[in-house]
Copies of this chain bind each other. A is one copy, B any other.
Amino acid sequence: MPAGADRERRRVGIVDVAAAAGVSRQTVSNVLNGREEYYSTATYEKVTSAMRALGYRPNRAAQTLRSRRTAQIGYHIFGEQLDQAQGFTLRFLQSLVRAAAEVDHQVLVFTHRRDDPLGVFKDLVARHAVDAIVLSESTVDDDRARFLADSGIPFACFGRLAPDLPQHWVDVDNTAGMSAVVDALVADGHLRFAYLAADGDQYWKLDRLDGVVRRLAHHGVRLPKSAMFRGSDQGVRRRARQLLTGKNPPSAIVTGSDAVAAAVVGVAHSLGLGVGSDVAVTGFDGGAVGLVTEPTLTSARIPVDRVSRTLVARCLRQVEHGRDDEPGLVLPTELVRGGSA
């Protein structure tokens, strides 16, 4: 039996498509890569129908090797995440994956090793495993961002960066977000406020606090020192209890995040107070946490989808045109009204 008779199920390659369509392999490649100047509509039809008929899908490794584009975006997550970020990280990742998919890219998730935080980054860059890297929960002076900037790989951060770093970032307007929350509360007639938040001196935590203080001042409402607290989850609960059982309790408790708000809601319940009626509670984030509290949270929603889409766009821009001097982008939050305020 001649070798040609083998029922061998060969992978279908670009040449098979070319043969089936009666054109050369490049024409197929051009169609594949949407180089519209280089083929006629008729050719396009022939080629695409041949691809469909053969069930052809280009081999990624070959494309990558030749074009030097992986169509993959790296996303760094921290290994240990017992904190507030928990819920948000997954929401963001989901959004990022969708945003990447919209432009035919995939997301490679990676973590660092404890003993060598930058090692993975070096590896990824050196091995050309990704076209760009996205960072979230970045600090202003972020080691990772600094390394990426030095190495020259395209990147973008969710969170603003120091002025001496490339401004490849997107962030939300924390101050304005809190202002909107305060405005709504004031419009509802609240006069006695408190602000509770997780501790930490990240700029966004400070911005949120600042937003509340300033906006209340704008409305002529003072926020007494004793009604401001930033600390651990436990500390927040304790202080919430103190405030709510003390004399002249706040009628509205603004918090720095949905996680904190959820904790406060729990405390209020435990004191037999009606949330949204006896006391208003607000959060910041607008993700899933706020939907499982009872009542649901009024919160400043972070527009995750816009954030991730922008991040992906900025990455690809750098991939295609080299490092740019675009400034950072600040996105507004959206006030979502739940039953908690």
Judged by a CB distance under 8 angstroms, whether A242 is at the interface is no
Residues in A74-97 with C-beta less than 8 Å from chain B: 75, 77, 79-82, 86-87, 89-90, 93-94, 97
Q: Which of A120-128, A155-163, A315-323 contacts B (4 or more CB under 8 A)?
A: A120-128
Judged by a CB distance under 8 angstroms, whether A206 is at the interface is no
Residues in A210-257 with C-beta less than 8 Å from chain B: 233-234, 237
- Which residues of B are found within 8 Å of A65, using beta-carbon distances? 59, 61-62, 64-65
Q: How large is the interface on A (under 10, 10 to 19, 20 to 34, 35 or more residues)?
A: 35 or more
- Which residues of B are found within 8 Å of A19, using beta-carbon distances? none
Q: Are B70 and A94 in contact (CB under 8 A)?
A: no
A166 smallest CB distance to B (angstroms):
20
- Which residues of B are found within 8 Å of A113, using beta-carbon distances? 101
- Contacts A97-B110, A108-B108, A111-B101 given; indicate if A81 touches B288 (C-beta within 8 A): yes
Q: Are B106 and A108 in contact (CB under 8 A)?
A: yes
- Which residues of B are found within 8 Å of A57, using beta-carbon distances? 123, 126-127
- Which among A64, A77, A270 has the greatest number of chain B C-beta atoms within 10 A? A270
Which of B59, B93, B98 is in CB contact (< 8 Å) with A128?
Answer: B59
Closest B residue to A292 using CB positions? B233
Judged by a CB distance under 8 angstroms, whether A269 is at the interface is yes
Q: Are B294 and A86 in contact (CB under 8 A)?
A: no
- Which among A127, A259, A267 has the greatest number of chain B C-beta atoms within 10 A? A127
